[in-house]
DNA sequence: CTATTTTACGAAAACGGTTTCGTGTTAATA
DNA sequence: TATTAACACGAAACCGTTTTCGTAAAATAG
């Protein structure tokens, strides 16, 4: 009972006209007589004709698909970015193909290769940690050299010529640290990841700068550098056991809410005894007990902007190579894990 | 400097052979001499030839794309399902196009129409709440009638002929409620959504059944039915103010962790004074304070199974119409919001 | 009434592949 | 030596569109 899709050829045969006539009639071309147009359009409507996207893609070398390659989708931040991309892209008639690199260089490469052979009109990506560690961006360079536009967001590199969207991570960390110091905290710790992650590096810089600007020396023993953004409960527990601190800045919300728990387990009162701030204004931050003060990264905004930048490039005929980097301002969202 | 992709025709011209020869040579066809094959393959490798996916899709009417339409991606559950789908699909060489209906019937329809014209080989979906409320499944029926395979998961309907994957929601709620009763709780409340949501209905049934089986009457004042899965802090706060309860079962983790907070605000100790169980074993459940006992829905598993079912159908030539419904067992994950 | 312009349509190429079938050349067989 | 089979390749159709260009017939102009 499988009534397969009807094609132009089918309509042409049935109405005893040529395929070209049908095509034109459906596009309301001036070339076709009123009579014929009405006949064709009525027939098409009746049989619910819809042009085949693939054929159209092949013809005009445009797929109306956007490839999104991100390290993971479980971190709330990436989640919101995808939502922002989706929103803008769909409104513009584009579909979003999501691929997860899972922080793996190889997967990132494979995913890009899968998509780069005609499946998409452009890429929006955030680099995997492995890629940032390796500093190998050849897969990106190849793609851009083929004329496929790329927009990098959040985890970016300057070695690729493309548009970029980030928040001012350094400023975010700076503001947060400053906030902690203003509360009278003396021993502000930092839980971050290795410096190869671009965002972690910037945030560490912001933290350091804030301390120095306040005339406080940076003490290495107050900084915990985890290898990746992945949760390592043991490491954080150990850090707590061996460190005397009265405030913590964390590079994501997961580290932060987990820190809240450990702090409470160790008998600290949050925020009375210890203040904690995280990055990413997600579910965890909102619903943690106590709720978490965070640096909001405006992921949805970021997604929308990335999508707009990409689609503008895709639809711009003139292939002038002007690349811009958009820097969003982070916002400090005050909640109950700090004294406000 | 835009070196556009190289095509078969380019290779043919350069090597002074025909396009067909090149095509066959690259496929290592027996028809082509060793010499020619080597020449062609070397050339292709040198210029990094990759066949154009769109052309191939057009030719064999297979896109190797899967369309995923879900209500939202911020709920952890859908998130994990997408991850599962991605994982399986990618391993099989398929791409995943994610579309968000945002609980809107219209968006669901539009998204499906966008994809149903050749862009994908099949759909994996979970119905929007509006769709379940309207009970209008014509967009799904049209698609299946066109021979496009569909797999429904979690929020399903029996009115569409297709494969389905769900967890046994009733059992999950039953087990959870039973657990609460076994702890000696007498006034077990339920925070759920309107019955039109298939999962909410099943969970309410499980809750009811568990109470009745234990000889406890179901009291309407212990049940809060929110209109949708969206958070309504006021409603939950009111519920707390007007209800005397010593345990709550919530249909998602967000309602549950928020309930924990309100309970604590009202001076209850969790789990000593009140026990709380939610659905979805997500970040919130893991990192809430106290951590949340939940009914795990095994989203990733569900995604993998959905993807497998879909791809099996897509790749199965014989169009026998046998549809199966896979029911996964929920698991109760004990944490600190209940006495264990 | 002829010459020219519209009008309305069809043929064919193109997008980038795959695949069937035909054929000229060479080598093997009778 | 004549016949046939094997080999190696090319022409062309096809997937479903769009678009350019050519042209017969009808309409208008002269």
Place B340 in a pLDDT band, splitting at 50, 70 and 90: confident
Measured between CB atoms, does B148 come within 8 Å of chain A?
no
Q: CA-CA distance, A260 to A254, in Å (whole number)? A: 10
The gap from C-alpha B332 to its chain's centroid, in whole angstroms, comes to 20
* Span A25-42, pLDDT tens digits: 999 999 999 999 999 999
pLDDT, mean over chain B: 95
B52 touches strand C (CB under 7 A): yes
- Spanning CA of B47 to C1' of C28, the rounded length in angstroms is 40
Answer whether A80's CB lies under 8 Å from B72's CB: no
| Residue B248 phi, psi dihedral angles, 5° rounding | -140, 140
- Spanning CA of B31 to C1' of C30, the rounded length in angstroms is 27
Task: Give the HSE-up count for residue A168: Cα atoms under 13 Å, Cβ half-sphere.
Answer: 12
Tell the CATH topology of A62-166+299-326.
Answer: Rossmann fold (3.40.50)
Question: Which 97-136 residues of chain A touch chain B by CB within 8 A?
Answer: 97-100, 111, 113-119
Place B2 in a pLDDT band, splitting at 50, 70 and 90: low
Q: Quick one: tokens of B209? A: 């059944």
Place B1 in a pLDDT band, splitting at 50, 70 and 90: very low
What was the pLDDT predicted at A1? 46
Question: Which 230-289 residues of chain B touch chain A by CB within 8 A?
Answer: 254, 257-258, 260-261, 264, 283-284, 287-289
- Spanning CA of A34 to C1' of C7, the rounded length in angstroms is 11
Residues 6 or more apart whose CB falls under 8 angstroms from that of B90 comprise A99, A111, B96
Q: How far is A254 from chain B (nearest CA, A)?
A: 8
Integer Rg of chain B from CA: 26
Interface probe for B, chosen from A52, A53, A138, A265 (most Cβ of B below 10 Å), is A53
Tell me the DSSP string of B2-59.
--PPP-HHHHHHHHTS-HHHHHHHHTT-TTS-HHHHHHHHHHHHHTT----HHHHHHH
Q: Which residue has tokens 């707390």?
A: B240
Q: Quick one: tokens of A292? A: 């978490």
Nearest CA in chain B to A72: B83
CATH number of the domain located at residue range(s) B63-166+299-325 in this protein: 3.40.50.2300
Answer whether B291's CB lies under 8 Å from B336's CB: yes
Task: Give the HSE-up count for residue B16: Cα atoms under 13 Å, Cβ half-sphere.
Answer: 0
Protein-proximal nucleotides of chain D (any atom < 7 Å from a CB): 7-12, 14-21
A164 touches strand D (CB under 7 A): no
Interface probe for A, chosen from B1, B2, B54 (most Cβ of A below 10 Å), is B54
Region A242-257: what's the mean pLDDT? 96
Q: Between B93, B118, B289, which is nearest A54 by CB?
A: B118
| Residue B220 phi, psi dihedral angles, 5° rounding | -60, -35
The four Cα atoms A63, A68, A73, A78 give a dihedral, to 10 degrees, of: -130
Q: Which residue is nearest to nucleotide D9 (CA to C1')?
A: B21
Q: Quick one: tokens of A194? A: 């290795």
Interface probe for B, chosen from A283, A294, A335, A336 (most Cβ of B below 10 Å), is A283
* Span B59-89, pLDDT tens digits: 999 999 999 999 999 899 999 999 999 999 9
Place A317 in a pLDDT band, splitting at 50, 70 and 90: confident
Residues 57-76 of chain A in contact with strand C via CB under 7 angstroms:
58-59, 61
Protein-proximal nucleotides of chain C (any atom < 7 Å from a CB): 7-12, 14-21
How many contacts does A have with B, using Cβ atoms within 8 A? 155
Pairing relation of β-strands B293-296 and B331-333? antiparallel
Q: Between A118, A258, A319, which is nearest B2 by CB?
A: A319
Sign of CA dihedral B197, B201, B203, B207: positive
A52 touches strand C (CB under 7 A): no
What was the pLDDT predicted at B282? 96
Region B98-110: what's the mean pLDDT? 97
A48 touches strand D (CB under 7 A): no
pLDDT at A61 over 70: yes
Place B262 in a pLDDT band, splitting at 50, 70 and 90: very high
Q: Which residue has tokens 């027996």?
A: B30
Residues 197-256 of chain A in contact with strand C via CB under 7 angstroms:
none
What was the pLDDT predicted at A3? 65
Answer whether B132's CB lies under 8 Å from B198's CB: yes
Q: Which nucleotide is closest to the Cα of A37 by its C1'?
A: C8
* Span A263-295, pLDDT tens digits: 999 999 999 999 999 999 999 999 998 999 999
Q: CA-CA distance, A209 to B46, in Å (whole number)? A: 49
Answer whether A248's CB lies under 8 Å from A274's CB: yes
Measured between CB atoms, does B55 come within 8 Å of chain A?
yes
What was the pLDDT predicted at A2? 55
- Spanning CA of A162 to C1' of C18, the rounded length in angstroms is 36
B82 contact residues in A (CB cutoff 8 A)? 73, 98
Region B187-196: what's the mean pLDDT? 96
Beta bridge mates, B34? none
Using DSSP's 3-state secondary structure scheme, residue B147 falls into coil
pLDDT at B257 over 70: yes
Answer whether A314's CB lies under 8 Å from A122's CB: yes
CATH architecture of B169-298: 3-Layer(aba) Sandwich (3.40)
Contact B83 A74 (CB under 8 A): yes
Domain ranges of chain B: 8-51, 63-166+299-325, 169-298
pLDDT at A154 over 90: yes
Please, is A321 exposed, middle or buried when counting C-beta atoms within 10 Å of its C-beta (0-12, 13-18, 19+)? exposed
* Span A165-217, pLDDT tens digits: 999 999 999 999 999 999 999 999 999 999 999 999 999 999 999 999 999 99
Nearest CA in chain A to B288: A288
A59 touches strand D (CB under 7 A): yes
Region B219-234: what's the mean pLDDT? 94
């Amino acid at each position: 009972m499988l009534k397969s899709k009807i094609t132009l050829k089918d309509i042409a045969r049935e109405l005893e006209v040529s395929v070209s006539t049908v095509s034109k009639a459906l596009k309301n071309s001036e070339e076709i007589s009123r009579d014929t147009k009405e006949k064709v359009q009525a027939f098409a409507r009746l049989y619910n004709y819809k042009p085949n996207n693939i054929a159209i893609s092949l013809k005009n070398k445009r797929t109306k698909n956007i490839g999104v390659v991100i390290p993971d989708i479980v971190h709330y931040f990436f989640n919101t970015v995808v939502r922002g991309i989706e929103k803008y892209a769909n409104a513009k008639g584009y579909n979003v193909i999501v691929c997860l690199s899972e922080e793996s260089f190889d997967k990132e490469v494979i995913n890009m290769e899968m998509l780069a052979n005609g499946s998409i009109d452009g890429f929006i990506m955030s680099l995997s940690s492995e890629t940032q560690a390796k500093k190998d961006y050849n897969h990106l360079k190849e793609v851009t050299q083929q004329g496929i536009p790329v927009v990098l967001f959040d985890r970016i590199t300057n070695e690729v010529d493309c548009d970029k969207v980030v928040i001012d991570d350094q400023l975010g960390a700076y503001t947060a640290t400053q906030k902690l110091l203003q509360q009278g905290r003396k021993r502000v710790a930092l839980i971050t990841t290795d410096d190869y992650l671009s965002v972690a590096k910037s945030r560490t810089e912001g933290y350091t700068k804030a301390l120095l600007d306040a005339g406080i020396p940076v003490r290495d023993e107050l900084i915990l550098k985890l290898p990746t953004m992945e949760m390592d409960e043991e490491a954080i527990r150990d850090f707590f056991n061996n460190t005397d601190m009265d405030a913590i800045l964390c590079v994501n919300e997961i580290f932060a809410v987990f820190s809240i728990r450990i702090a409470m387990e160790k008998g600290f009162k949050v925020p009375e005894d210890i203040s904690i701030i995280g990055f990413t204004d997600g579910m965890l931050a909102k619903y943690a007990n106590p709720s978490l003060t965070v640096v909001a990264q405006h992921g949805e905004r970021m997604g929308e902007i990335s999508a707009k930048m990409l689609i503008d490039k895709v639809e711009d005929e003139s292939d002038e190579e002007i690349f811009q980097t958009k820097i969003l301002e982070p916002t400090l969202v005050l909640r109950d894990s700090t004294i406000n």
